[in-house]
Amino acid sequence: MLFISFNFYSQNTYVFVGSYNWNKSKKGIYVFRLDTITGTLKKITTVKNILNPSYLTVSPNGNYIYACTDTKTPNAGNVSSFEFKPQHKTLTFINSQKSGGENPVYLSVHKNGKWLVNANYTEGSVSVYPIASDGKISPITQKISYSEGSINKERQDRSHVHSSVFTPDHDYVFLPDLGADKIRCYQFDSLQKEPLQEASYSFTPAVLGSGPRHFTFHPNGKFAYCIEELTGTVSAYKYVNGKLDNIQRIAAHSDEFTDGFNSGDIHISPDGRFLYASNRGEENNIAIFSIENNGTLKTVGYQPILGRTPRIFAIDSHGKFVIVANQSTGNLVVFKRDSVTGLLNKSGKEMKVKNASCVQIKEYP
């Protein structure tokens, strides 16, 4: 029985990859099946006729894929919906809505599957959409824009919201703002037409010039972590009811790198024991940290990602594999994760995806 169950898991885990295709006639989204015994990826289907699907997220039930589209396109920006049918191996376009700002970069879905929250980078705003039962995205019902910048005049001329992340209970949404050096926060009331409500702590200040980018919560819900793009650092926070209290700030880069930081993504293993953070620029690696009982981090090591510009990476729900999307080299690399040491080792065969920008993993029943 154990062998049958494991083999079933190995054949029903799918990987969704977005890219900067720059041309609607070229493939934009790729779907692979991950063999969780061998670590091998097998291409299932692709989608064309969409432009620059730079970020993807999967609905809680796995039936729908939502994408930031028309990213990095002047005076444009959309969020788009697709239906995924694993039994038929199809990914079908449903509809699009305006993103409410140029350069949408991050999407999150509420746990009830009825709300979509989008972060617009260039303009510096957040937009919220109702989602119908058939996965169709309705027009924006709420949009909030920001203007203030920070001390790095080249990168922080104004607000640049870089992600939208629900708390584990989905009662709050956090918005790391690279441009303003703030982690913004709203209560989320899913019963309201405009669900973003003012929170008691509307933002947590980050170190000036750090550039908060992506954000993640520990599985126990007691700690949160933010990757800071411009300083190559991770800030650790104690979390309680919408409030963040900083407990540590640690370098995500090795000592041999002293400037030109360009950190990207951040995730925690499902067992809550290790945190991983990607570094782009000259480093091109994933920093590995162990997580102490008090939420602080301890550096374990650095894993070269066998490519350049690891914009997004993902960990499967069993914590067995880490898949990295390398944008500049256009390759997906699968690493097998050691659950005891947290270290990574290449597994399976690399897959080519030109300008790969995002990867998400979902296990299906």
Per-residue pLDDT reduced to its tens digit, 22-37 = 999 999 999 999 999 9
Q: How far is CA 181 from the centre of its chain?
A: 19
Q: State how far the Cα of 269 lies from the Cα of 315, in Å rounded to an integer.
A: 7
pLDDT exceeds 60 at position 177: yes
pLDDT over 90, % of the chain: 94
pLDDT exceeds 60 at position 4: no
pTM: 0.96
pLDDT at residue 12 in the model: 93
pLDDT at residue 3 in the model: 44
β-partners of residue 198 are 186
**Which of 201, 28, 23, 215 shows the shortest CA–CA distance to 119?**
215
Q: Where are the domains of the chain?
A: 146-304
pLDDT exceeds 70 at position 5: no
Q: How far is CA 162 from the centre of its chain?
A: 10
Q: State how far the Cα of 71 lies from the Cα of 85, in Å rounded to an integer.
A: 26
Average pLDDT in the chain? 96
pLDDT exceeds 90 at position 257: no
Rounded to an integer, the average pLDDT of 214-234 is 98
Rounded to an integer, the average pLDDT of 224-238 is 98
Rounded to an integer, the average pLDDT of 90-117 is 98
Rounded to an integer, the average pLDDT of 330-341 is 98
pLDDT at residue 336 in the model: 98
pLDDT at residue 7 in the model: 54
**Confidence band for 10, pLDDT divided at 50, 70 and 90:** low
**Confidence band for 295, pLDDT divided at 50, 70 and 90:** very high
pLDDT at residue 260 in the model: 85
Burial 107-127 (b: 16+ CB within 10 A, else e): bbbbeebebbbbbbbbbbbbb
pLDDT exceeds 60 at position 91: yes
Q: Which CATH class is domain 146-304?
A: mainly beta
Rounded to an integer, the average pLDDT of 67-80 is 96
